[in-house]
Amino acid sequence: MELSYSPQEEEFRARLREWLAKVLPTLPPKPSPGDWPARRAYDLGWQRMLYDAGYADVHWDASPTTRLIFLEETERAGAPYVGANFVGLLHAGPTIAAEGTPAQRARWLPPVLRGEEVWCQGFSEPGAGSDLAALRTRAWRDGDDYVVTGSKIWTSHAEVADWCELLVRTDPQAPRHRGITWLALPMDADGVTVRPLGTLAGSAEFAEVFLDEVRVPAANRVGAENDGWRVTMVTLSFERGTAFVGEVVACRRVLTELASAARENGRWDDPVLRRRLGRLEAEFRALWRLTQWNVSEAEASGGVPGVGGSVFKLRYSHARQDLYDTAADVLGPAALDLDQSWVLDRLSSLSYTIAAGTSQIQRNIVAERILGLPKGR
């Protein structure tokens, strides 16, 4: 594991830090969390600024270490998060960059980099739970098109998306992990219906998506037909490997803020709370080192994160929940006020042990692929 930075990487860090200090004060106020059209415009506008400054392609054209520096510095500076561009920049984009044809990369990647198109993720399905291989959305070939029928749920940003990274079953007779295909679905195609879902926090960044004989050009298939499970593992390795880097930096900042708030409101006198804060500090330091280890591994293996991302995802999900439970202890009765800092983050943290593969799925991956334990029946 190499944790040091080269002179070129340190120069990149300094140049980025200087640019952020200059442009962040010029940004307009962030829109309301519930105003998704405005949030889309804000997020795409920020991505365009990154593009014009030469930082837009850092998620797939830069080395993993440069990407790590970018995420670390933007989060520390308080720059906008990827927001509506989450799937395009951190899931679909890297997957297309790694698995797409030259024509697919030329069609789909530049609009994402320029902040012109938003992607959503069509993986989860009603009735499949966390078992992604149980998906039942069906696609069959008809000439130059696939015809898709089925439904998806918890589809991130579907209500404002232009494209969807869609998993479909193209061979129902094949074993569960085979017979799956990865398609790029245009969200304005005939037969696509989007129904937003309200979250516990009152926002609506997820939706149900219903597909009624939707025709998708076969040219929109990424990877070979029935090879979608392998392509999906590439997508999920990005999600579990580097997509949470900025969040770790943010959690470490929140931890410092919690300690300050506890000193101000008297909660610091509680030795149990101080122990919790100290343990969390050690936990997030370890997670940051694990992030660097995963990045080093990706650097050595051609840029695609390995199964170490599952170790990170498993521990990070629970650490994040512990962090915001501790925030509730610091806030006391104010933890029931949605307008207080950290309250909405506490509600959203509940989803982390489900999203991007449940903790049970991560434990299975660690047991089988890292520890070499036999698969259960």
pLDDT tens digits, 10-53: 999 999 999 999 999 999 998 887 788 898 999 999 999 999 99
In this prediction, residue 371 carries a pLDDT of: 86
* Tokens (6 digits) for 180: 């799956």
Q: 243-370 has which fold?
A: Butyryl-CoA Dehydrogenase, subunit A; domain 3 (1.20.140)
Q: What is the CATH number of domain 119-226?
A: 2.40.110.10
Q: Do domains 119-226 and 243-370 have the same CATH topology?
A: no
3.40.30.110, 1.10.1040.50, 1.10.540.10, 3.40.50.10490: which CATH number matches 7-114?
1.10.540.10
CA-CA distance, 206 to 183, in Å (whole number)?
20
CB 323 within 8 A of CB 280: yes
Lowest-pLDDT choice from 33-42, 277-286, 292-301, 361-370: 292-301
Please give the DSSP secondary-structure letter assigned to residue 189: S
In this prediction, residue 238 carries a pLDDT of: 62
Q: Let me know if 239 is a catalytic residue.
A: yes
For range 211-237, the mean pLDDT: 89
Give the pLDDT band (50/70/90) at residue 274. Answer: very high
pLDDT beyond 90 at 177: no
* Cα angle 77, 204, 111; round to 5: 60
In order of 80, 189, 254, 309, the CA distances from 323 in angstroms are 22, 42, 8, 20
CB 337 within 8 A of CB 216: no
CA-CA distance, 99 to 224, in Å (whole number)?
10
DSSP string, 191-247: TEEEEEE--TTS---EEEEEEEEEEEEGGGEESSTTBHHHHHHHHHHHHHHTTTHHH
CB 114 within 8 A of CB 47: yes
Domain limits of the chain? 7-114, 119-226, 243-370
Q: What is the pLDDT of residues 68-106, one digit of tens each?
A: 889 889 988 989 988 889 889 888 988 898 899 999 999
The residue annotated as part of the active site, out of 75, 165, 205, 239, is: 239
What residues have CB less than 8 Å from 229, skipping those under 6 apart? 133, 177, 178, 180
In this prediction, residue 239 carries a pLDDT of: 58
Burial of 16 (0-12, 13-18, 19+ CB in 10 A): buried
Residue that wins the pLDDT comparison between 334 and 19: 19
